[in-house]
Amino acid sequence: DAGVTQSPTHLIKTRGQQVTLRCSPKSGHDTVSWYQQALGQGPQFIFQYYEEEERQRGNFPDRFSGHQFPNYSSELNVNALLLGDSALYLCASSPTPRASGNYEQYFGPGTRLTVT
């Protein structure tokens, strides 16, 4: 049973460019959350997708957008990249929110984005 997978592993972009990161959730999970983790900091919640809709959003600008597909996989898009967007981007999956009584999130290995 594959866990959460993310692609690519590493990415280097230039300021002003756009980037798309991808995530496949753990089998049986239908909820996907995205986090940004700067070096030495904890993950910062970006948004959560469930039933192909954004259900909750953290304090991130509209340059950050996402999508969830019918197979529950998800994409994170960042437009007009800034140097400050350099970070580890983590995807986490979980079962249907609260329905199963199982609240733990399973994280992927992350995508390391460097903006130059």
Site residues, another protein (CB under 8 A): 4, 33, 35, 40-45, 48, 50, 55-56, 58, 90, 92, 97-98, 103-110
CA angle 51, 54, 55 (to 5 degrees): 85
DSSP character string of 80-91: S--GGG-EEEEE
Q: In angstroms, what is the minimal distance from the CB of 16 to another protein? A: 28
Q: In angstroms, what is the minimal distance from the CB of 55 to another protein? A: 3
Residue 83, φ and ψ in degrees, nearest 5: -55, -35
Give the residue with the Cβ less far from another protein, 14 or 101.
Answer: 101
- Cα separation, 27 vs 48, in Å, equals 17
Give the residue with the Cβ less far from another protein, 24 or 33.
Answer: 33
Give the residue with the Cβ less far from another protein, 14 or 103.
Answer: 103
**Hey, what amino acid is at 21?**
L
